[in-house]
Chain A
Amino acid sequence: MTVYNLYIFNKRGALLYYGEWNRWKHSGISQEEEAKLMYGSLFSLKSFVSKISPWDLKEGFQCYKTNKYKLTMFETPTGLKFIMNTDVNAPNVRELLQIIYAQVFVEYVVKNPLCSTQEPIISELFKSKLDEVVKTSPASVSKG
């Protein structure tokens, strides 16, 4: 089980944070370009999913899978987006994203007067707490 990388976007689509753990292939474009592409694709996917759905959706788009990886998105009511790429069988990624939001983002960004949700996060404490949560989560701990 592995976690590949994590993107955090604010409601305006600005990349607040990018974290990477096990990523072997890079996109070949700049990180800024990649973030725009990611945000744009998800934006389209979201509207696609809600338009095509035969039912009224409560949550809308949540994840997609390919043969090699799974992308999970968690969006808060305030419009923050947490996007994580993991391997296909990683369990509870959605729960992990909620934990990252409630126990890392809220605690160390929202409660830090020196961080703003309009600018990229540079807090080292945030980064180290995030690493800790991701590394101890069931999504990245192998089952042996």
Chain B
Amino acid sequence: MFQAGGNSDEGLFDYLHMELVSTLLQPERNPGIHLSISTMEHLGFSSGYRLVERLTREWPRFKDELDSMKFICKEFWTAVFRKQVDNLRTNRQGVYVLQDNRFRHLAKVSTSGQYMEAAPKLVVFTCGLVRGALANLGIVSVVTAEVSAMPICKFQVQIQRASA
């Protein structure tokens, strides 16, 4: 009768993430804790950096950038969200767009325009997570997210070339 959304450690990650988000949204409820969007992104970055270390331990080196991105879309996303990225697009000039049609942190919030103003705060941790993972694979990038209709989320990864 009582079906949980998944197994218990997934739930725990969800609740921890929710607390981070609500600390961001309602700073008055948690006096003494100053969390900003960029701190949250940084938390994601270091988590992603560590996580990818563990996830790739059985893997050979990746051939190229695209190979690493495919790893993020498949293995990394599955490890974090129990699903793969639904769509990966690239312009072959260092810009990749990862689209998740049912992004976990948005799926329980809304399927309409409601709560749209909170969307940036719900996705920023994951932006950091992706940036951190790529950084540890030797790819310096800027990751931004775009939510035009919940629960669809597009993450745009812009690779920073050393020469540029």
Q: Which residues of A contact B (CB under 8 A)?
A: 95, 98-99, 102-103, 106-108, 111-114, 123-125, 128
* Number of interface residues, chain B, beta carbon within 8 A: 21
Contact flag A125-B18 (CB < 8 Å), given A107-B5, A113-B25: no
Q: How far apart sit A125 and B21, CA to CA, in the bound complex (Å)?
A: 19
Q: Which residues of B contact A124 (CB under 8 A)?
A: 110-112, 114
Contact flag A125-B111 (CB < 8 Å), given A111-B5, A114-B25: yes
Contact flag A111-B114 (CB < 8 Å), given A102-B1, A103-B3: no
A102 touching B108, Cβ below 8 Å: no
B5 touching A102, Cβ below 8 Å: no
Q: Which residues of A contact B17 (CB under 8 A)?
A: 113
Q: List 22 A-B contacts (CB under 8 A).
A: A95-B1, A98-B1, A99-B1, A102-B1, A102-B2, A102-B3, A103-B3, A106-B4, A111-B18, A111-B108, A112-B18, A112-B109, A113-B25, A113-B109, A114-B22, A114-B25, A114-B115, A114-B118, A123-B114, A124-B110, A125-B109, A128-B111
